[in-house]
Structure 1
Amino acid sequence: MTSRHANGHHDPERRGRLAARAAALLGATALLAAGAVPAPAAPVAPAAADPVLVNPSFEEPVADGVVPGWQLVGPARLDTSYAVTDAAAHDGAHSLSITDDSGVYGVAIESDPFDVEVRRSYTAAAMTRVDRDQLAVYLRFYDADGNRLTNVATPQGETGGAWTTTSITATAPEGAVTGTVLLYSATSPRGAGYFDTVTVKAGAVEPPRLTDPTPADVIAQNPRISHLGTPVTSKITTNAVLGEEDGTAVTYGVYRGHPDTEHPATFVVANADTGEVIRALPAAGAEGTFETRVSTDGTVYFATTPDFHLWSYSPVTRELRDLGPLNPQSPKDGHAFTMTAGPDGTMYVGTYPKGYLYRYDPADDSITNLGAVDPTQAYIKGLAYDFERETLYVGTGGTRAQIFKVAPDGTTTELLSDEATPGAMDESFVSTFTFVDDRLFARVANQLLVIRADDTVEYWKGQGNEAHGYHVTARPDAPGKYVFTFGTSFWEYDSATATTRNLGIATNGYLNDSRWVQLDDPEWPGYSLLAATQDGSVLTNPATGRSEPRTVDFANPVTIQKLFAGPGSMYASGYMVGLAPFDSVTGEAGPTLQSGQYESSAVRGDTMLLGSYGNGRVSEYDPAADAAPRLLFDLKAEKQDRPFGMDYDEQNDRLFVGTVAYYGSNQGALTQYDFATKTKTVYTTEVVTDQSVISVLYHDGLVYAGTTVDGSLGAPPSGQTDGHFVVFDPDTGQKVHDFVPVAGDEGVTGLTVGPDGLIWGVSEDTVFKYDPATEQIVYSEKLLRNRYGTSTVWAYAYLHTGADGNVYGTNRFSVFKIDPATMEYTLLVNGVGNYANVDADGDLLFSYGVDVYKYDVPDAPRCDQEITGAHTGPVAVTDGTLCVTGATVSGPITATGAGSVTITGSTITGPIHVTGTTGTLTLTGNRITGPVSLTGNTTETPPTVGGNTITGPLACSGNDPEPASGGDANTVTGPRSGQCAGL
């Protein structure tokens, strides 16, 4: 749609008007759909003729047991049968009967093949009457050699003696030449019932499927799409190290980027004294790293994701070298988390998900998999080498933290125990090792641990956070004292007293590496510490308390984690850090806030409520205050980690947050936070058992939650098989309803209030709608093209209502539109699409990788003549747009040559005649007493005639395209003729 706010600061009154309009539509005005107002339309392939099936209603005579146009798949089986019968029929005199008494073998009857066009969607439908268990309608596609390419189905349960439409929509894949319809009883159920009136409809040709596209590729999918740029730029370095080149101290850091773009992970060499970037070397195909370390010969090593490669940098040649995957046979088993230098220039690497330990030897350029030190744990997150004793310290974890001391002969000693380190093994991880002065320093969930070389524990409290960072350094001027970081300060550990103290010296990030220097400067007496940090470097002096940070001025665009609507602007969050405002009109982005991996957001007045990964943190952020987000609460004590779902109750000033559990657990939570009392209430099994709460919606006093069977990383199988849609009453703390929208689907996401006032959601590839008035799921259809697969899936689908009243969404693999009147699905972008949201103008925003895109949603149609409430007398229009919404009309309605006509949710006493309409034509949900005729309309989309009760004849002729019911049958007392005979 044409933008009205050139500066991008959206008018809050405009946002209010948009919301009010969407609410008032209640599925009525929204039914006008895109195209009622002139707008650039995407080029589409010419409409294809519908495939013609032979004998679709089984009326042709059966000869020698052969049903014309159909054949049995496989041999006839005992206790299974099929036949053309006159015992039941939807139309004509016959139908196909299928009876499966076997419970082992199914009955499959397949149509003759019909020609198909690659990337065109097809909908196979049959009238079904299921008397026992279930039957199914399949749509199959074959290549030129008769090889089956795809096989998709919709099952149909018992119909209580009634006929119902069972349909399945699929797109002909690359290589497809023909398609068939299969009528099936399946194998396990003992299905029995009837099929009749089988049809196949040809839909639109979908855009080509994208794989790792450039912005130009995405834009080419639809002329309404524009590229808004890469708004989030972050300085994400997990840790940086120090080195020296040409007599100058330098920092080496790997800055996170996006693989397979011009901004991959980048190895940056910077002057440690000034922060000036000396050189930046891209690591093609890499996104980032969890560890950077220097070997004994001065070579710098780092291991990257998602390619799982090991890299080296030579300070001598100044070249970056890709050493290849750690595990060529199974690259994902080489996901590195930690490294440490070994003897003779070697480098040890600890990995996930099988806890393998690797060693790189530069002597022969070899990578050796040394196996798992603890096969029961998935991670190695800590490594250190004692050169004097030639022993390696290995920190394993996932579900149970442990430190193994590996002797030169390979024997291992476990250093953590309930007696020596009570509570340490109850934590998931032990990490970030430094071995110095015969002591191993480690962090156990940010708790400091010190173990001597003789395996005795020198320091362990286990009483809460007290250490951050990746490195500990010994003070040369104070033997037995060691410097580390905690929070924003340098701290000191005194081995003589086994105590820690805050030095009160500020740092610009966690301590990653260090060296002690003596400067010829009276303002820096004695020893000063030059430290590498996340932000660059810092020079500090323990004697004076002086601290001077140096920032490395380098940032890369990073992967978009989510898209948020904030006060006055749209925002994008980054993975693993970053939050940036951006103008959804011009694409201009503001400065990136270098904090948080923000997963969810809601607006509270002029502030944003932000949910961030790591202990389920929830903060409040005022963009106008120029201050960091303020923590409201976290869910560490409740063992929650990732806050994916969030919504705000403005009337009662309370927030609702849905979370994934902390590592190794399945039990998610729904948390309610009351701003007036500053208290939180956490519901776990009251909502769902052993599942995550992913999608959260507050509406009219109730909370709607979508769950997924996938728990946290490292969690054992929960045994759960179905994602749930839960209706929860926050005032009573009780579950009102618990639905499984689709049995076997693993997750429910995308909850939103649709333009029809119903609660919409997504269960994998199924869109469903819940009616709060009847407290039932009233619609469920497989509209989307993708399911979850075998990997962990949390955030998935996002749905929002656009300016034109249609519902837009993403589901990782696509960007799509759904017409709420007809539930027609339109694929806008094929293959990519994440985190759909709408801006204040009702335009759709989505992301892929580091890039944000906008789909320019057409303006809502204008009603030149609008009738609501009671009207007595004739209604006649000859141009413009007619909208009859929720009205009671006593008199005829005649539209001749109108631009668009919408009659919905109304009671009409009198005839309806519509001819010559050129825009859109919608006739849905009405009670009409009188004849209805639609003739000679040449509309942009098929006229929709569905869900009406008509007392009188229904006649349609000469319409192009032909009218459709949108899946909602009409009840007609009188003859149906012409193009409306099947409606």
Structure 2
Amino acid sequence: MPLQQRRRLASVAVLATLVATAAVPGAPAVAAAPTETLVGVPHHNLAIYGATFGSTPAGDYAYAVARGTTGVLNVIDTRTATVLRALPLPGAGGSWGGTVTPDGTAYIGADSKLFRYRPGADHVEDLGSPAPGETTTWRLANDGERVFVGTFPTGKVYSFHHRTGAVRDYGQIWPGEQYVRSIGVANGKVYAGLGTVARLVEVDIESGERREIPLPEQYRAEQFVYDLDVHQHTLFVRLANSNRVLVHDLKAGRWIAELGTAAGLNFSPPDAKKNVYFGSSAGRLMAYNLDAGTLTPTDFTGFGTARGFGWAHLADAEWPGRTLVTISLSGNLSYYNPQTGAKKVVSAGVKGLPAQLQTIEAGPDGRIFSSAYPSGGITSYDPVTGAFSENPGALGQAEGLLSYRGRIYAGVYPGANLFELDPARPVVRGSNPRQFGSLGADHQDRPFAVTGVGDRVAFGTIPEYGQLGGALALVDPATGAKEVYRDVVPEQSVTALTTVGSLVLGGTGIWGGLGVAPTRTEAKLFLWDPATRTKVWEGAAIPGAKAITRLIVAPDGRIWGSTVGTLFEFDPVSRTVVDTVEVEPFDWNVSHVWRSDHLAVAPDGAVCGNFRTTVACVDPDTLSVQKLATGTSDVWTMDAAGVMYYARGGELYRLTR
């Protein structure tokens, strides 16, 4: 039956599972409606990216946000290492930090929002998004009266008055800097750590005047002042990408120490002897004395990342006075007593949550493979048994997946690391999937586009933060030998790839890594000859389109591509776009687009995919559109039988036509 005659669905809030055949004898059968089924949640994850600590007369507490499709604030009694309350954060998935005011009130920044938890409450107050247009809240600090928040993508600081709720927007802290990645408050000043060019700026709280505190010359090429804490008149920063820890004396106005490398994220409040603690990259808890300026390693080894530090009173002979406590990414509480040297690591009992799907791919054995954001992992779903096999630590955040010659290939963020998975063998962390390459040294970060080219795999990438110029990389998985070509289209990223005969067809996007404005205005198509290592053609795709997000070759040889919500056909002979159809409209006035649509050809020849948030199929001859599902994420694949799989947040759905 021609595609345009099939029943169309405007929404899939509810999908009918079956359309009955005609009741009149001899009448033709009515086609079955598409059937959508919720398959389940492929990825569960326990990840705490941000936490803060505080005390009240009633006890000592950690406030730790577990990331999920809806984040959860865990209120933890650090004296007993027990979760007292687990409270959802509506409209937010995760947090990078919070702060506790002197009366014990906790403020949490999560995505664009600010939340408040008052001690003993049974709910979290949603304070909304005090800085409209900012999508990400990073770290928080307070001066007892006001809470200060750093943001992305405008690189702002705003304050929220603890008593009155008044908001003050300090605006972009430094021209061109999109990230206020870390923040501290002391002596009437706010200290903002910026990126993607690492920069430290002091802001006067009352006047709003600002001045840069220049980093030492040898560190001015760093990307971020990633962590920042101020204790008395001493300021600590951790730089990224080097992870170097620097110490600045605010009274003297000079940098006074370099403490090696740290794992992040925080530097503790001082103990009674003026020691500030942090975790080294080698996994040891270190103590820096504010008065003497000396660095001393403790006996606490195997120490991980610190998602905030606090002090607890354990009321035990082995744990006299105040005990240092922190929480790790995996939800473990680490304790260290400065008086006795006692140390322990205890699970707080924080529960994992469904994780947002980042990529899915139909594998060569009929299973569906997926990776999650930002926790990564690799999960397979078997449609025959209905079983999921989760492997949360086996892979990082896969930006692109490709099934090719019986293997699954993954491009993983950060550092554009490249992996091969053999689906016929058990998943074993460190060996299957195995890493066969990396593009990090080539200043690439996110490999979204992947295609097979003979014995090699080609990856198209987004560069590092603050850079323009993605790359086309051809890598041999057997040997790791690679050819990397940056700026195939100058100052654009490579966001789509497919193989056309002996050539590679690529599509670009004008955006580079976060933190840098594009210099070009329109996406391009290009043809690359691997044999001669040359670009043999470059041309425009759709006027005004700023990113090409998918390219495929149909079994009949026709080439299809998409931007964001728009399907087009490309003729490789005339090297022109011959047809377009808009499935879902899109406004290009956005901060960036790295990926969107995914495409495949169904067994009946229809070109199907997710077009932004709409799952649809398009008749290749008439360009009529059959909309099948709406409200979906930009995650989609199709198996060999034409069954579609896609996501809404952390949930995997299946649809048959």
TM more than 0.5: yes
How do residues 483-632 of structure 1 correspond to structure 2 at under 5 angstroms? Answer: 483-486=278-281, 490-491=285-286, 505-507=301-303, 509-515=305-311, 520=316, 529-541=324-336, 547-566=344-363, 568=365, 569-579=367-377, 580-584=379-383, 588-591=387-390, 593=392, 596-603=396-403, 608-620=408-420, 624-627=426-429, 631-632=435-436
2:40 corresponds to 1:229: yes
Once the two structures are superposed, residues 852-911 of structure 1 have per-residue CA deviations (whole angstroms, 9 ceiling, x without a partner) of 221225xxxxxxxxxxxxxxxxxxxxxxxxxxxxxxxxxxxxxxxxxxxxxxxxxxxxxx
Looking at structure 1, the residues matched to 257 and 347 of structure 2 have their Cα atoms a distance apart, in angstroms, of 33
Match of 1:291 in 2: 97
Paired amino acid for 2:352 = A
2:579 corresponds to 1:780: yes
Looking at structure 2, the residues matched to 409 and 786 of structure 1 have their Cα atoms a distance apart, in angstroms, of 45
User: What SS is found at the alignment partner of 2:133?
Assistant: helix
User: Any conservation in 2 of the 1:535–1:552 contact (CA below 8 Å)?
Assistant: no
How do residues 236-247 of structure 1 correspond to structure 2 at under 5 angstroms? Answer: 236-243=47-54
Once the two structures are superposed, residues 707-735 of structure 1 have per-residue CA deviations (whole angstroms, 9 ceiling, x without a partner) of 122333332231332x2222212233211
CA 1:334–1:683: 2 relative to 1, 3 Å: closer
1:640 pairs, out of 420, 436, 444, with 444
Paired amino acid for 2:100 = V
Once the two structures are superposed, residues 546-593 of structure 1 have per-residue CA deviations (whole angstroms, 9 ceiling, x without a partner) of 642415341222332221234653123222223333234565433351
2:268 corresponds to 1:473: yes
Looking at structure 1, the residues matched to 587 and 9 of structure 2 have their Cα atoms a distance apart, in angstroms, of 22
Looking at structure 2, the residues matched to 540 and 680 of structure 1 have their Cα atoms a distance apart, in angstroms, of 46
Looking at structure 2, the residues matched to 370 and 512 of structure 1 have their Cα atoms a distance apart, in angstroms, of 25
2:597 corresponds to 1:797: yes
Tell me, which stretches of 5 or more residues in structure 1 are unaligned? Answer: 1-31, 35-120, 122-202, 259-263, 858-983
Looking at structure 1, the residues matched to 272 and 482 of structure 2 have their Cα atoms a distance apart, in angstroms, of 49
Looking at structure 1, the residues matched to 138 and 16 of structure 2 have their Cα atoms a distance apart, in angstroms, of 34
Paired amino acid for 1:457 = W
Once the two structures are superposed, residues 386-419 of structure 1 have per-residue CA deviations (whole angstroms, 9 ceiling, x without a partner) of 2xx34332223344523325376655442114xx
1:302 pairs, out of 102, 108, 111, with 108
Per mean C-alpha deviation after superposition, the further-off stretch among 407-416 and 281-290 is 407-416
Looking at structure 2, the residues matched to 751 and 515 of structure 1 have their Cα atoms a distance apart, in angstroms, of 54
Looking at structure 2, the residues matched to 480 and 770 of structure 1 have their Cα atoms a distance apart, in angstroms, of 65
User: Any conservation in 2 of the 1:293–1:339 contact (CA below 8 Å)?
Assistant: yes
> How far off its partner does 1:837 sit?
0.8
User: Any conservation in 1 of the 2:470–2:494 contact (CA below 8 Å)?
Assistant: yes
User: Any conservation in 1 of the 2:492–2:520 contact (CA below 8 Å)?
Assistant: no
Tell me, which stretches of 5 or more residues in structure 2 are unaligned? Answer: 20-32
User: Any conservation in 2 of the 1:510–1:533 contact (CA below 8 Å)?
Assistant: yes
User: What SS is found at the alignment partner of 2:504?
Assistant: strand
For normalisation by structure 2, the TM-score amounts to 0.84
Match of 1:717 in 2: 518
Match of 2:231 in 1: 436
For normalisation by structure 1, the TM-score amounts to 0.58
Give the structure with higher Rg (CA): 1
Paired amino acid for 2:90 = A
Match of 1:349 in 2: 149
CA 1:597–1:293: 2 relative to 1, 3 Å: farther
1:282 pairs, out of 88, 112, 129, with 88
Match of 1:695 in 2: 496
> How far off its partner does 1:688 sit?
0.9
Paired amino acid for 1:291 = G
Match of 2:249 in 1: 452
Looking at structure 2, the residues matched to 220 and 713 of structure 1 have their Cα atoms a distance apart, in angstroms, of 46
Looking at structure 1, the residues matched to 506 and 284 of structure 2 have their Cα atoms a distance apart, in angstroms, of 41
Once the two structures are superposed, residues 744-769 of structure 1 have per-residue CA deviations (whole angstroms, 9 ceiling, x without a partner) of 33222321221213332224555444
User: What SS is found at the alignment partner of 1:343?
Assistant: coil
Match of 1:396 in 2: 194
> How far off its partner does 1:267 sit?
1.6
Match of 2:24 in 1: none
> How far off its partner does 1:644 sit?
0.9
> How far off its partner does 1:813 sit?
3.0
Looking at structure 1, the residues matched to 570 and 207 of structure 2 have their Cα atoms a distance apart, in angstroms, of 65
Match of 1:313 in 2: 117
2:73 corresponds to 1:267: yes
CA 1:726–1:561: 2 relative to 1, 3 Å: same
> How far off its partner does 1:239 sit?
0.9
2:471 pairs, out of 669, 692, 704, with 669
User: Any conservation in 1 of the 2:570–2:579 contact (CA below 8 Å)?
Assistant: no
Once the two structures are superposed, residues 259-314 of structure 1 have per-residue CA deviations (whole angstroms, 9 ceiling, x without a partner) of xxxxx322222344676432221222333333222122211101233xx3321101
CA 1:763–1:367: 2 relative to 1, 3 Å: closer
The number of residue pairs the alignment matches comes to: 630
CA 1:839–1:349: 2 relative to 1, 3 Å: same
CA 1:553–1:343: 2 relative to 1, 3 Å: closer
2:201 corresponds to 1:406: no
Once the two structures are superposed, residues 49-88 of structure 1 have per-residue CA deviations (whole angstroms, 9 ceiling, x without a partner) of xxxxxxxxxxxxxxxxxxxxxxxxxxxxxxxxxxxxxxxx
Looking at structure 2, the residues matched to 310 and 817 of structure 1 have their Cα atoms a distance apart, in angstroms, of 40
CA 1:632–1:241: 2 relative to 1, 3 Å: farther
Looking at structure 1, the residues matched to 166 and 115 of structure 2 have their Cα atoms a distance apart, in angstroms, of 13
Q: Identity percentage over the alignment?
A: 26
2:5 corresponds to 1:208: no
2:27 corresponds to 1:251: no
User: What SS is found at the alignment partner of 1:339?
Assistant: strand
CA 1:709–1:413: 2 relative to 1, 3 Å: closer
User: Any conservation in 2 of the 1:234–1:557 contact (CA below 8 Å)?
Assistant: yes
> How far off its partner does 1:689 sit?
1.0
Paired amino acid for 1:430 = V
> How far off its partner does 1:383 sit?
1.4
Paired amino acid for 1:817 = C
CA 1:611–1:477: 2 relative to 1, 3 Å: farther
Looking at structure 2, the residues matched to 296 and 532 of structure 1 have their Cα atoms a distance apart, in angstroms, of 21
User: Any conservation in 2 of the 1:236–1:576 contact (CA below 8 Å)?
Assistant: no
> How far off its partner does 1:256 sit?
3.0
Match of 1:761 in 2: 561
Looking at structure 1, the residues matched to 238 and 298 of structure 2 have their Cα atoms a distance apart, in angstroms, of 17
CA 1:437–1:505: 2 relative to 1, 3 Å: farther
User: What SS is found at the alignment partner of 1:332?
Assistant: coil
Once the two structures are superposed, residues 24-61 of structure 1 have per-residue CA deviations (whole angstroms, 9 ceiling, x without a partner) of xxxxxxxx878xxxxxxxxxxxxxxxxxxxxxxxxxxx
> How far off its partner does 1:206 sit?
4.3
Per mean C-alpha deviation after superposition, the further-off stretch among 282-291 and 243-252 is 243-252
Match of 1:682 in 2: 484
User: What SS is found at the alignment partner of 1:743?
Assistant: coil
Match of 1:48 in 2: none
> How far off its partner does 1:245 sit?
7.5
CA 1:220–1:849: 2 relative to 1, 3 Å: farther
Paired amino acid for 1:397 = G
> How far off its partner does 1:799 sit?
1.0
Match of 1:363 in 2: 163
Looking at structure 2, the residues matched to 233 and 414 of structure 1 have their Cα atoms a distance apart, in angstroms, of 42
> How far off its partner does 1:809 sit?
1.0
CA 1:493–1:698: 2 relative to 1, 3 Å: farther
How do residues 751-900 of structure 1 correspond to structure 2 at under 5 angstroms? Answer: 751-764=551-564, 766-770=566-570, 774=573, 776-777=575-576, 779-782=578-581, 784-791=583-590, 792-820=592-620, 824-830=624-630, 832=632, 834-839=634-639, 841-857=641-657
User: Any conservation in 2 of the 1:486–1:510 contact (CA below 8 Å)?
Assistant: no
Match of 2:130 in 1: 326
Looking at structure 1, the residues matched to 396 and 524 of structure 2 have their Cα atoms a distance apart, in angstroms, of 29
User: What SS is found at the alignment partner of 1:351?
Assistant: strand
User: What SS is found at the alignment partner of 1:834?
Assistant: coil
